[in-house]
Each structure stands twice: as structure tokens, then as C-alpha cells.
Structure 1
Amino acid sequence: MGKIASAHAYANNEVAYLAWDIDGKIEGCLGFEVVRIYLEPDGSVSLRDDGEEDRVPCAAWVGFKGQRNPHWLPQTTSIWPVQKLSWRDLTLRKRRNRAQLRPSEISVRYEIRPLGDWRPGLEPAPDPVPETVAVAKRGADGRPVLDADDRSVKIEAKAYDGKPRPLGYLGPAVATNAIRVTRWIGPFQSTFTNGVLAAQWLRNVIWEDGVKRPNELMGMISDPKNGIRKYLAGDVLPMLRELFEQAGSFLLALYELDDNELVDLLLANKNRIRLILANTGLVEGEWDVRNSHARQALIDANVDIQHRMFNNSTHIGHNKFVVHLDDDDAPVAVFTGSTNWTTTGLAGQTNNAIIIEDRNVAKAFADCWHRMLNDPLDLPTEFDDGMPDNQQGAPFRTSNETPARFTLDNGAKLEVWFSPNMPARRKSSAIPPDLREIYRLMRKAEQAILFLAFYPGQSGKDCIVGEAIEIGRTDQRLIVSGAVSSAQAMPNYVPGRKNDRNDPEDDEEAVSPHTFTEANVSIVRASRLDDRDLLSDFGGEELTAKGGIGAIIHDKVVVIDPLSDDCAVIFGSHNLGFKASYSNDENLVIVRGDKALAAAYAVHVLDVYDHYRFRAIEAELRRQGKKGWSGFLATEDTWLDPYADGAKGALMRYFARG
């Protein structure tokens, strides 16, 4: 009989990703129990106040066929086991029963153990009989019932419905390596937002009072005191506050700025900042609507600000970086990444943020800031007026044609590119130098290419998506997995066409698949579950905070061979397509040879990819009129067959080897 052959765990400061492999089919296996074990600094198991080891079976929400979870309450993986060979420990820091984050800077390992139906001779798993708990009473429409004071009426109910299924252990537990949950990685502080809104816990939070109000979620995430906002923003806000608590001054280059808490942070440091603020997009015929409030507040406070107003659809000032200068005005660190300084950027999208504590790297960003300062644009008569001819000057473009390269104290190689770095204003077939370097690294990949992107290019052309597919086609041993936000970025997207302007009914609609799968290549786009998707206990989810408007996956990340000494991590503001290099103010950072940083970013990619992969597959099946997943765990061991014969699970097997 088969057994677990290897298991490995990885983490960033938010999430752990576990993967394991089997050496053959485990007969009768109905899934795996996953237990989180807290560790002391010396590696020993932590003890609770009662003297027991601090072991926490991970939470699960999906029951077996014949069971229901109408109140969306967690059981453990000892009762509802994991029916795949990987697991994202989303509750490592993010509680799911209340909007609170557990502390970071902890060490844990995991134990994974196969489960099947209990029979004599097997060690029994924990008792599956559901507890009686207090839950919100719900009406026929599924919404909570409120009392006269608009408070949710509580009733007693079983934690789940249906016949309990006693399970037993089919083999010994296999332990993973120990991992550290931290944002400090050598010269880096890396963190990630929790802004995945297509999630059942968030749906339940919004419906908790029985009413879903217009713009309710935007109201929650706009309030600096709101727990949901803090939960979704994660460590990005604390990291920025800690940065501005440092002595010295700051150079900022920002694209969007509308979050009140961050505006207040800038105003509180108004005598220590110099800001280059670009414009936001067109809204009902006017430019810069989103930034207008913050811009005026900064002007009124006499902040040192240069208005970098492109006010056209060809160019944007897309940076989001901060250079920290010491008391002698020498650059010491830089904050960058994909996170816009907006409410949705912080708490309504997936994003990454990083501080690089290296004087040479910080100086490269400071030099770029000064080059922008010395490349002023004509100002519109009114800030909301269009400026169709505004673009970067030729000297600024030329100055960005070569990167800055450094060796960090930990031995990793770091390369910084700035944009635009092509002489032409509009893109052509010529590959920009920064993307040429990314493509070169991607072509050297030996095991895996992972990525997250917002909208690098239509139909995956002239960007990293199309390149990744071509590389995957050439080497089908390579794992290529990624997720995008925009439907138009999918490689199998087909734009709509106008056949006859005089006959609107003859128009062809765009074809917008949710998935792209070809041999070893798997790309998905951000999708959600709707009420009609599954017949079990899932309900309709949010996808964006603005009712369908805006980015969902806003990261711009590529991770290459994360388990290799030759790994590479690519991040920044750059959208990873030709347009960014030709037209926009951008920054792009490439780090090679830092396996810890690669692991942190790989976990983030896997977290987002895995979350949306399930939803995208369900949405694509619905689009094709096919039946999707039942919404329940399988009750026989056949679910394991494709893993045992190798037809499924290549990504998991890669990470399982460590």
C-alpha cells in the first residue's frame, strides 16, 4: 500500500503552502489530516498553559456528500480531510471566525496523515459528531433574521448537518520542515495584501446583519478603524507606518493616492517629504478625479510636490515607490511593489509590497526620482483637462535604457530597470530591454515559471504571458502556472467584432474563457462563485469592492525555479508587457539567487493561483454548459487515482521535494 513519500512547507508573512507526494495509491484514502505545530526558538514543540503540546488541526469547510455546512462553520481536517496533495494554511495568520490577524514572527511545522473510513484495527481520528453551537437564525432567503434592535437573532444548531463519518488513520504522520512566518528576509521586508474578496468568510461578514447595502464593502475598507480593512490590508499599512517613523526624509513617486489614512500619513510628515504625483485615469470625461482630493490637501499643506500630469490614455506615471533618506540626505532604503496608495490597492486587490534595505539600490531609485523631477511635463490649465501630447522627454527615456546592477550583502544579485526605456512613444514589435532580460531568465527555467499579472497585454501578446506559453510548449517538462486579472489578458480571449454596422444583431461577441490549459501550462483568471454555481453551501461572492469595477489580481510578479540556487523573483510596478516599457513611468526589480525571497513570493503566487483556479474552472464549466464540482468531498478513494498515476499534481510534486 502506498504512503506519503515526502512533504515540504513554505511560508511568507501571511500564508503557508504545503505539498506532499505519495509513492503509490493509499487504498481507502479519503483525504489527509493536516496539523499545524507551533515551535520554540530551539525547534522544540511549544506547550500550552495546560502543558499539552500546541498542535492545531487545520480548519476545513467542505463536508462529505450527504453532509451540509449551512452556517459555513469550520471543522478540522481530521473530520473533513484534504482531498489533494497540497494545502494553503490560510488561518496561519488570518482567522476565519473573526476579522483578526494572528501575530507573525513565529515558527511552525506541519504533520500530514492519511485518513479513511474507520474499521477495527485502525487508530480512530477525532470524534466527528458535530457540536451544538449558537448561530444566526436565517430566513427562507438565507439572510440572517434581525430582532427589533436590528441585531442578529441567535439559535442553537448543529455545527453541520448530516450523518457523521468516523475516520481512522491509514498510516503514520509525516512531518514537514520547520518554517518561519516573517516579513524579514535578509535585506528585504516583504509583505502581501489579503485582498482576495471572492471568499466565503467575507460573504458571511457582509451578510451578517441580514442586509447587503450598496457600496457596503467600500465603506468598510475605507474606514481606518474597520477590522475588515485591517484584515485585508495585512502588514502593508504597519510596514509603511514603521518606515515613516524612521528619522530622515522621503522621496515619493506615486500613481494613485486616495486612501485617507495614507494621505494623513503624508500630511503628518509634510515637512519631510518630496512627492512626484501623477494623474489617475479618465472618469466621465475628466482626468485625475481619484487623486483630486489628496492633491488639493497636499497643496493646501504646502507639501513639496511636482504634478506629473500626463492626462492622456497613452502614458501613465505608474510608480509607487518611496526612497528613505537619512539625516545626511543619503538614500538608505526603498519601498516598492505593486500596491497603489488607494483604498482598493490596500484592501481590495492582491498586491505585494517590499522594502529593500540597501543603500546602493535606494540610490538607484533616488537617482530615477531626480531624473523624473528634471523631466517636468506641461501642466493643464485645470488638473482635470486632457493633455494628449504630454510624454516623457528623450533624455529621460535614454537614461532608462540600461539597468542598475548590484550584489547584496547576502550574495543575491539585484537588477533595477526603469521605464520608459524605448525611444518610440508607441509600442512596436521591438522587445524592450527590460522584458528581453525577463524573457532570457524565463527561457533558462528548468523546473517552474509562476506568475501573477493584472493586464500585461491583450490575449497574452507582447507580454510575459505569451512568452511563458511558448516556453512551456517548447519544454513540456517545465511547469508554467499563473493567474491574471483581466479577461482580455487570457491567451484564448477573442475580441468581439463588428460584422455590419447597420445590423447590430450581426455583431460577434467577445469570447472570454476563464481558463487556459495546454499540456503543462495552466493559466486562470480571477473569477467568483455565484449562488447558482454549486448546489451545496456556497453562496455568491464579491469579486471587487466596486461592484465589478477595477483590478482583482493587481500583482506584477514572476518567480522562476524557486527551489533552485539560480532562482529569480521579478516584481515592481511594471505590468510585464510592452506598453509599460514603451509608455509608462515604471520600476522593475529582478532578484536572483535568493531562495528565501523566492519562496515567499512563490507562496503568494500559489495562494492566489490556487484560490482562483477552482473558481475559474467552475466558471468555465458553467460557460460551456457543463456540470461542475458537486460541492462535497468524495466518498470513495478514486479521487486519488490521478495523483497516484502521475496524471495530476505536477506542481504539488515539485514543491513536495523541497
Structure 2
Amino acid sequence: MNQAKAFANNDVVLLVWDYENPIDDCLGFCIKRKNINTNKEVTLESMVGFKKESVETRQFKPTTIWPIQKFNWRDFTAESGATYEYTIIPMTGTSTNLKAKSHAKVITNQVTLSPGTGKIKAYFNRGILSTQFVSSQIPKSSSGIPNYKILLDRIKQTGDKLRNKLADELKDAVMSLLDKAIKEKGECYCSLYELSDPELVEKLLEAKDRVHLILSNTGADDSTNEVARASLHDSGMDITDRMVSSGHIGHNKFVIYVNPQGKPTTVMTGSTNWTTTGLCSQSNNAIIIQSNDLADHYMDYWNRMKTDDAEQGSKFRKDNNQERSVKIGNTEISLWFSPNTKAKNKTANSPMPDDIEQVFNAMNGAKKSILFLAFQPGTPSIINEAANVQISKPDLFIRGAATDLGAVESSSVTLFHRGINDPVIVGAQELKDDFAFWMAELLKSSPTAHAIIHDKIMVIDAFTDDCVVITGSHNLGFRASYNNDENLLIIKGDNELATSYATHILDVYDHYRWRYYLSRNTGGHKFTGLNTKPSWQHPYFNNKRGESIDKRFWL
């Protein structure tokens, strides 16, 4: 059947549509967006013209002229808090004489860009540097690539428009419980791994009389946190220096809000380090959960961490190694803390940690799909287990991307497409291939801070009542459970949350997948613009092709 659906989180709207058969003479689709609140309708624009067409850099035209030659689209121009409805219209004819086939239009459901409507809210940033937008904002260096030094200076500046665009609502979410403590005269108990962003440090200083902070070290020299640590100590803040030994990290990034009556009520956690790169030049997330029971568990962990004296000792580990269950309405949450193993270090033959076993069990129970983003999960990890699950369930829809940092100049993104056992590893330097009117793209914010996927998230069976969201600071591999201070949330039955995370995962995945496609197709197969023939539709109607499989997953 002909249909269209829209999905959204706080950051982006994802559109997917389908037709029963290829459309005669169709050269793409026009997309119209109606704001339900104002009743104003606009035609979305595209920056990809037809082959051999003269196109200027950063030129945009309505999709009635440069139609979308896909069956999905991401709308980055939608405004947070607004509710929209989209109309997809086939454009037929020739590249110079397109006509709207309005009687064949399909209309989406209404969606609102929002972190969520319940007691669990999710926030995502726009922290991908390798985009045409970022390239247009930063002067070029001698190599023709945007100057990362200028970029880094801009994203450090509080109030800078580029900083705010990249950080999106994630920045405000990270600071929200501190603001709540200031306004309501409550308190915040924080556990942080990295801390250097000027605006976040300033917010901590503003709330200093209401903050209790456990701040870990990021290495032997503590260079990342050194300046902020000294400033916070000088302010008189209640701060505990958790300087863990080499090979271990205090990897948490959480804040607990305690109300004026002394009751823990809310937790903010996720993948976001409190650094400028964490906010702006890495893909990251934060989740805010209102639950007295959950906040009590985090408060207990925080207190035990404070008395552990950075030893990650046997009692601390033993107390961590238990599932803590919480219910919020119909949503079930399993909470785990790390380190939670008897041994202090992972070895080649280390047994599976109990928290990872629960993650793997959830993966093996998947009926329809597994989606993920990961950062250096190590081995064994969700990557290895996804390969095992794919073997036992070859029809399972598995998509994901993971960042692995090797040498300073050689980070890579691994894409899992079609089959988990045939991943595509795309070196960062290959993601800058441009065609004709595209600007060279930036891949790093400093010589050592690559534009990377830093999320540690998974969604199992999205769009079903049995959906599972896995998130927190945990890198989703054995090593994190053995060596690190971590928190891990396994959230079951929250369809709104699962849709929000799934939208983010496929957004990031598609970004890198498209750039891989450009770099792979060279010579006579190089992409140079829109196809002037309707044959571009064929992969979307071939059930064995990835384009068709992806489309069926969403619909």
C-alpha cells in the first residue's frame, strides 16, 4: 500500500514512505511540511541537482525542482517543540519539466520534536562535524578543509551560534538539574569523568553551594580536568577527587537531583562528557528520568563510590554486582553499576560479567531488529554478540555504527549493513569525498579529537510493545564492567523512548553510510547528481537490496 510515516526526537524528523510499485517517469519526490500550530506549509529544499546541471556550492532549490531520489528523508530544519505533518508528492516528467503527481501523494502522521512526554526524556545533539553546514561556517585551511582551530575556538564560546547548533538541546539538558537546584534550592550529586567545557564549569560554579561532585581523572597527568578541578576546589565546592589507577577510569557522567526536603527524585545520565567536544563534536545523548526509586539507587552508588576511596575494592564491586529493578508506569528498568566483577582487570579469558549477560540475553531475544551506536566497546562486546545473533537469526534487521580510535590520525567508523558479518570499515579520511559542488568536510576538532560516534546505545525491537532501550555511560563491552566506574540502564516497554533513540541511531548511521557510498563509487560510477531516469527507484523495490529492507523496517 502507498503510505508515509514520520518519526522524531528532540533533534530531527525522519520521514519514510512507500508505494506498491515503481512510479512511471518519477524522478523523485517533493516534500511539503505543514506546521500544525500555525497552519503554515512550506516546501522543503534540496542541495543536490541533476547530473551535468550547473550547481553552485551551498545552493538550495525547492524539491519541486530538485526532488528527493530516496524513499526516506531527514528534516534538520524542523523546530523544536513544533508539530508537523508532511506530504510526499511524486515528481514526474523530465529534469527540466517536472510535474507534481498530486493525486498520488501520501501524507504522514503528525509528529512533535520533543524529548518525550512522560517521566523519561531523551536528548540528542547534532555533534557531527563532517557536514556541509559546518563546512560553510568555518574558513578553510591551506589543505582546503575547514580550519579545526577556528572551529574549536568557536564551539568553546558560550552563546556562539555554531556551538548552540551543534550542541542543540543536549547542552541545556546536561545543565538542567543544576538549574533546578538553583531555582528550587535543592542539591545535585554529580559523578563526572571529563570536565573542561567553560559554560558547564561556570554553571557548576554558579551552583557551587548546592553541588557535591565526584570528579575522576582522565589519565596520569589529569590534563583534561586540571584547570576545572583547581577552579572548583578554590570555590569551596564539596568535591571528591577520585583518582583511579592506570587501566581504570571513572567513566560516569551522571547527576542526581535531591529536592529541598532531602529526597532524591531525578537522574540525568548518558554518554556525554562535560567537555566542549562532548557537547559539540561527537554524537552523544542524555536521558533524564524522574523516579524516586531510581534516584535512590544512584544516590546509594554515589555514596559508596565516595567511601571507596578510588580503590574499586572488593566490597564496592560486590555491592555493584546486582540488578536493581525499577518500574515507572508500564516501563521496567534494570539498573547496573560497575565495576562489578571479582577480578579488577579483564583478561583474554575473563568470564562474562552479569550486566553484559543481561544485555546479550536481550539481544538474543530480539524478534525484529537490533540497532546500535557504540564507541570503542572492545572485545568481547555487543559487536561480537550481534554477529552471533545474525548467524542464528539471519532475517533479523541489524543496523549500527561504531567508532574505533587507532593511531592519532586514523580513527574509523564501522558500519553494519545488510549483514553483521560483512561490516564496512570506513576510515575517517575517506568520509570527505565530495562531488562537484560539495565543500570538503571537517573530520576532527583537533589533532586528537576526531569527529566520532560517542553514543553507547542500543534499541531492540523498536516500534513494538517489547522494545528495549539500553543506554548509560557503559561502553557495552566486557572491559567496562571489569575496569570502570559505569552505570547501565536497560529500559523495557517505553515505545516513545525507543522510537526517539531509533531515530537518532538511524540518523547517525545514514550520515556515514551516505558518505561511504560517495567514496566507494568512483570513476564511471561516481555519484555526480540526481538521475535523469526513473530507474533510480529499482533498488527500493528489490526485496534483497538494503534500500528495500531499510524501507520495510520503518513501515
SS in 2 for 1:333: strand
1:437 alignment partner AA = Q
Stretch moving more, 321-330 or 610-619: 610-619
Tell me whether 1:477 sits opposite 2:379 in the alignment: no
Structure 2 vs 1, CA of residues 454 and 20 (structure 1 numbering), >3 Å: closer, same or farther? same
Structure 2 vs 1, CA of residues 565 and 256 (structure 1 numbering), >3 Å: closer, same or farther? same
Tell me whether 1:434 sits opposite 2:355 in the alignment: yes
Tell me whether 1:630 sits opposite 2:527 in the alignment: yes
1:422 corresponding residue in structure 2: 341
2:190 corresponding residue in structure 1: 252
How far apart, CA to CA, are the structure 1 residues paired with 2:424 and 2:157? 32
2:322 corresponding residue in structure 1: 402
1:426-474 per-residue CA deviation (whole Å, 9 max, x = no partner) reads 22341111111111111111111000011111xxx30001111221122
Q: In structure 2, which of residues 302, 306, 327 is the aligned counterpart of residue 369 of structure 1? A: 302
Structure 2 vs 1, CA of residues 421 and 531 (structure 1 numbering), >3 Å: closer, same or farther? closer
Structure 2 vs 1, CA of residues 512 and 357 (structure 1 numbering), >3 Å: closer, same or farther? closer
Structure 2 vs 1, CA of residues 405 and 64 (structure 1 numbering), >3 Å: closer, same or farther? same
1:337 alignment partner AA = G
Tell me whether 1:464 sits opposite 2:382 in the alignment: yes
* Contact 2:130/2:451 (8 A) holds in 1: no
SS in 1 for 2:249: coil
How far apart, CA to CA, are the structure 1 residues paired with 2:235 and 2:327? 40
Tell me whether 1:598 sits opposite 2:519 in the alignment: no
How far apart, CA to CA, are the structure 2 residues paired with 1:487 and 1:27? 46
1:523-579 per-residue CA deviation (whole Å, 9 max, x = no partner) reads 556766879834411221111211453461100000011111000001110011111
1:544 alignment partner AA = K
Q: TM-score, normalised by structure 2?
A: 0.92
* Contact 2:36/2:84 (8 A) holds in 1: yes
1:14 corresponding residue in structure 2: 11
Structure 2 vs 1, CA of residues 329 and 527 (structure 1 numbering), >3 Å: closer, same or farther? farther
Q: Displacement of 1:311 after TM fit?
A: 4.4
How far apart, CA to CA, are the structure 2 residues paired with 1:531 and 1:328? 52
Q: Displacement of 1:363 after TM fit?
A: 0.9
2:211 alignment partner AA = I
SS in 2 for 1:406: strand
2:277 corresponding residue in structure 1: 344
1:107 alignment partner AA = T
2:121 alignment partner AA = Q
* Contact 1:524/1:612 (8 A) holds in 2: no
1:359 corresponding residue in structure 2: 292
1:215 corresponding residue in structure 2: 149
Q: Displacement of 1:253 after TM fit?
A: 0.2
List aligned pairs for 1:30-109, cutoff 5 A: 30-40=27-37, 46-47=38-39, 54-93=40-79, 104-109=80-85
* Contact 1:422/1:581 (8 A) holds in 2: yes
* Contact 1:483/1:524 (8 A) holds in 2: no
1:146 corresponding residue in structure 2: none
SS in 1 for 2:109: coil
How far apart, CA to CA, are the structure 1 residues paired with 2:424 and 2:472? 22
Tell me whether 1:270 sits opposite 2:246 in the alignment: no
Q: Displacement of 1:628 after TM fit?
A: 5.5
Larger C-alpha radius of gyration, 1 or 2? 1
Structure 2 vs 1, CA of residues 483 and 549 (structure 1 numbering), >3 Å: closer, same or farther? same
1:412 corresponding residue in structure 2: 331
How far apart, CA to CA, are the structure 1 residues paired with 2:450 and 2:265? 34
1:448 corresponding residue in structure 2: 369
More helix by share: 2
SS in 1 for 2:283: coil
List aligned pairs for 1:487-526, cutoff 5 A: 515=415, 517=417, 519=419, 523=423
Q: Displacement of 1:214 after TM fit?
A: 5.7
SS in 1 for 2:337: strand
Q: In structure 1, which of residues 19, 23, 26 is the aligned counterpart of residue 23 of structure 2? A: 26
How far apart, CA to CA, are the structure 1 residues paired with 2:434 and 2:172? 38
Q: Displacement of 1:172 after TM fit?
A: 2.0
1:369-414 per-residue CA deviation (whole Å, 9 max, x = no partner) reads 011011003xxxxxxxxxxxxx4100111111112101103x1111
How far apart, CA to CA, are the structure 2 residues paired with 1:374 and 1:342? 26
Q: In structure 2, which of residues 112, 133, 139 is the aligned counterpart of residue 180 of structure 1? A: 112
1:144 corresponding residue in structure 2: none
How many equivalent residue pairs?
Answer: 544
Q: In structure 1, which of residues 270, 279, 282 is the aligned counterpart of residue 217 of structure 2? A: 279
Q: In structure 2, which of residues 83, 87, 90 is the aligned counterpart of residue 111 of structure 1? A: 87
Q: TM-score, normalised by structure 1?
A: 0.78
CA RMSD of aligned residues (A): 2.5
2:439 corresponding residue in structure 1: 539
Structure 2 vs 1, CA of residues 18 and 347 (structure 1 numbering), >3 Å: closer, same or farther? same
List aligned pairs for 1:283-298, cutoff 5 A: 287-298=221-232
* Contact 1:448/1:560 (8 A) holds in 2: yes
How far apart, CA to CA, are the structure 1 residues paired with 2:541 and 2:122? 36
How far apart, CA to CA, are the structure 2 residues paired with 1:185 and 1:523? 36
1:422 alignment partner AA = T
Q: Displacement of 1:514 after TM fit?
A: 5.4
SS in 1 for 2:136: helix
1:330-357 per-residue CA deviation (whole Å, 9 max, x = no partner) reads 1010010000000000111100011101
2:537 alignment partner AA = L
1:294-352 per-residue CA deviation (whole Å, 9 max, x = no partner) reads 0000111111111101141x100000000000112210100100000000001111000
Structure 2 vs 1, CA of residues 373 and 603 (structure 1 numbering), >3 Å: closer, same or farther? same
Q: Displacement of 1:520 after TM fit?
A: 6.9
1:392 corresponding residue in structure 2: 312
How far apart, CA to CA, are the structure 2 residues paired with 1:531 and 1:196? 12
* Contact 1:451/1:483 (8 A) holds in 2: yes
Q: Displacement of 1:67 after TM fit?
A: 1.4
Structure 2 vs 1, CA of residues 35 and 209 (structure 1 numbering), >3 Å: closer, same or farther? farther
- In the alignment, structure 2 segments of 5+ residues that lack a partner are none
Structure 2 vs 1, CA of residues 522 and 271 (structure 1 numbering), >3 Å: closer, same or farther? farther
Q: Displacement of 1:73 after TM fit?
A: 2.0
Structure 2 vs 1, CA of residues 656 and 558 (structure 1 numbering), >3 Å: closer, same or farther? closer
* Contact 1:453/1:555 (8 A) holds in 2: yes
How far apart, CA to CA, are the structure 2 residues paired with 1:525 and 1:108? 36
How far apart, CA to CA, are the structure 2 residues paired with 1:606 and 1:302? 44
How far apart, CA to CA, are the structure 1 residues paired with 2:147 and 2:405? 27
* Contact 2:401/2:413 (8 A) holds in 1: no
2:127 corresponding residue in structure 1: 195
How far apart, CA to CA, are the structure 1 residues paired with 2:448 and 2:63? 34
How far apart, CA to CA, are the structure 2 residues paired with 1:112 and 1:346? 34
How far apart, CA to CA, are the structure 1 residues paired with 2:315 and 2:469? 29
* Contact 2:121/2:289 (8 A) holds in 1: yes
How far apart, CA to CA, are the structure 1 residues paired with 2:412 and 2:127? 24
How far apart, CA to CA, are the structure 1 residues paired with 2:416 and 2:109? 33
Q: In structure 2, which of residues 531, 543, 550 is the aligned counterpart of residue 652 of structure 1? A: 550
